[in-house]
Structure 1
Amino acid sequence: MAEPTRPADAGAPLTVRYFAGARAAAGRTEETASAGRSLDELVMELTDRHGERLAAVLTVASFLVDGVTCHDRRAPLTAGATIDVLPPFAGG
Structure 2
Amino acid sequence: MQLTVRYFAGARAAAGRTEETASAGRSLDALVDELAARHGDRLATVLKAASFLIDGVACHDRQAPLPAGVTVDVLPPFAGG
Q: Is 2:42 the counterpart of 1:21?
A: no
Query: What is the one-letter code of the residue matched to 2:50?
Result: A
Gapped runs of 5+ residues in structure 2? Answer: none
Change (3 A) 1:34 1:71: same
Counterpart among 47, 67, 78 of residue 36 in structure 2: 47
Instruction: After TM superposition, give the deviation of residue 36 of structure 1 in Å.
Output: 5.6
2:26 match: 37
Query: What is the one-letter code of the residue matched to 2:77?
Result: P
- Deviation string, structure 1 residues 10-36 (Cα, Å, up to 9, x no partner): xx3110000000000000000001166
Pairwise CA RMSD: 1.2
* Pairs aligned (count): 81
TM-score (norm 1): 0.83
Instruction: After TM superposition, give the deviation of residue 66 of structure 1 in Å.
Output: 0.6
Please give the secondary structure, in 1, of the residue aligned with 2:72. strand
- Structure ID, larger Rg: 1
TM-score (norm 2): 0.94
Query: What is the one-letter code of the residue matched to 1:89?
Result: F
More strand, by proportion: 2
Query: What is the one-letter code of the residue matched to 1:79?
Result: A
Alpha-carbon distance between aligned partners in 2 of 1:30 and 1:20, rounded to the nearest angstrom? 12
2:60 match: 71
